[in-house]
Structure 1
Amino acid sequence: MEAQPVGQWLDELASKASTPGGGAGAAMNAAVGAALVSMVCNLTIGKPKYAEHEATMTEALAKAEDLRARALGLAADDAAAFDAVVAAYKLPKATDEEKQARTAAIQAALVGAAEVPLRTAALAAEVIDVAASILEGANTNVISDIAVAASSAKSALESGVVNVEVNLASMSDEQLRKETEARLTEYTPATGRADALIAQVRERLAR
């Protein structure tokens, strides 16, 4: 993912191939959000006017870079997880034994396919929180990019939720479904925090 040209990746996303798909797109949105946080930090660090916020910006930059790398990894993981689901559905089902093995493989693959967007949602929530942490001390010339970072991360989170839900719908393990849904609810409140951050930025820009 890291070495692949953006245009080539978008061509693959637009093609008839099943991967990359929406899950990978969600992770890439999270990566964009994290990259924008890094940009704001880089354009603030070292400027005397914002010296009192240097430590906050430096810490946020390190977090954002880590999140961006992890998001790229999730984009690749999502494609692999979906391919595993497709492969499981293609397993033979001529005998009862094959049917049982196929069903077990499908369920295992669905668990993996739900786990990746769940991690994407968690990561996107982190991006939103890191973006919020830099608003107070950010270079005022680029605070609009904090709002764009929050918007991108919010999109990633909401997309992650949808991709978790679509896999949950086919999972037969009720207990695992409930546990996954409970984990998901830990991250969804971050969408409200993103909206609040965007509103704060827009209010400042209107002054």
Structure 2
Amino acid sequence: MSQPTTSHQPTEAGFGGSPIGDYLGELAAKVPAPGGGAVAALHAAQGAALVAMVARYTTRAKDAEHRPVVDRIIEAADAARVRALTLADDDAAAFTAVGAAYKLPKESEGEKAARGAAIEAALLEAARVPAAVIDAADGVLALAAELLPIGNPNVVTDIGAAGAAARAAATTSQLNIEINLGSLPAERAAAFTAVLGRISEITARADSLQQEVLHAVRT
């Protein structure tokens, strides 16, 4: 994360209460936030929403034997969507905190020390949020894969779209974590090794899901 100058959140209600046009306008504006972190979280939210939609279309009479699983997926996907929207707000707040930390005074040795500690704490939080987005994306992908064999075939491509959104959420979050880690001490950065190590496995699962959906569409 480069040193921001100013920050801005879409509305006081957060991303969940912001019209899509307003959000995209803010995203296109010359302001540091919203940015890639919010985009990653919203990818996860969209993936979760698509999973929930397909599951709700899988409540026909012929789907009765799968109803307990489908109901569980609906509940989990709805919760994941809400969580991801919260993470979008958290990302904007974390970016704002980084900007505020860099603006702290640094005239005296005490001020320099306080500023350094504040910057480190803010950068850690700015890395923790996308790490949480990766967890959310992983969960959305797992739900999509579970739903695929039993989901309504008329909306099977939306399961693929959910997997693609989850993949984008994870890979975008990787970028946001790594840019923050570059400004942290090695011992602090090491805490994120495990979550970063999961990216290749997540993308592989997402790619596999994509191929399964394509196979379903083409046969």
Among residues 22, 47, 58, which one is paired with 1:8 in the alignment? 22
Task: Report deviation, 1:55.
Answer: 1.4
Task: Report deviation, 1:176.
Answer: 2.2
Structure 2 match to 1:194: 206
Q: Deviations over 1:63-97 (max 9, x none)?
A: 10000000000000000000000110011111211
In structure 2, C-alpha distance between the alignment counterparts of 1:73 and 1:187, rounded to whole Å: 22
In structure 1, C-alpha distance between the alignment counterparts of 2:195 and 2:149, rounded to whole Å: 30
Q: Which amino acid aligns with 1:184?
A: L
Matches within 5 A, 1:6-155: 6-45=20-59, 47-155=60-168
In the alignment, structure 1 residue 169 sits paired with structure 2 residue 169? no
Q: Deviations over 1:89-134 (max 9, x none)?
A: 0111112111111111101100000000000011101100000000
Root-mean-square deviation (Å)? 1.0
Are the aligned partners of 1:157 and 1:188 in contact in 2 as well (CA < 8 Å)?
no
Task: Report deviation, 1:8.
Answer: 0.6
Task: Report deviation, 1:187.
Answer: 5.0
Q: Which amino acid aligns with 1:194?
A: A
Q: Which amino acid aligns with 1:164?
A: I
Are the aligned partners of 1:125 and 1:187 in contact in 2 as well (CA < 8 Å)?
no
Secondary structure of residue in 1 paired with 2:33: coil
Secondary structure of residue in 2 paired with 1:23: helix
Are the aligned partners of 2:174 and 2:199 in contact in 1 as well (CA < 8 Å)?
no
Q: Deviations over 1:131-160 (max 9, x none)?
A: 000011111100000000000110000001
Are the aligned partners of 1:146 and 1:201 in contact in 2 as well (CA < 8 Å)?
yes
Number of paired residues?
205
Q: Which runs of 5+ in 1 are unaligned?
A: none
Q: Percent identity?
A: 44
In structure 2, C-alpha distance between the alignment counterparts of 1:10 and 1:206, rounded to whole Å: 34
Among residues 146, 156, 162, which one is paired with 2:169 in the alignment? 156
In structure 2, C-alpha distance between the alignment counterparts of 1:144 and 1:195, rounded to whole Å: 14
In structure 2, C-alpha distance between the alignment counterparts of 1:151 and 1:22, rounded to whole Å: 16
Secondary structure of residue in 1 paired with 2:16: coil
Task: Report deviation, 1:186.
Answer: 3.6
Task: Report deviation, 1:41.
Answer: 0.6
Q: Which runs of 4+ in 1 moved over 6 A?
A: none
In structure 1, C-alpha distance between the alignment counterparts of 2:63 and 2:32, rounded to whole Å: 47
In structure 2, C-alpha distance between the alignment counterparts of 1:100 and 1:176, rounded to whole Å: 17
- TM normalised by structure 1 equals 0.96
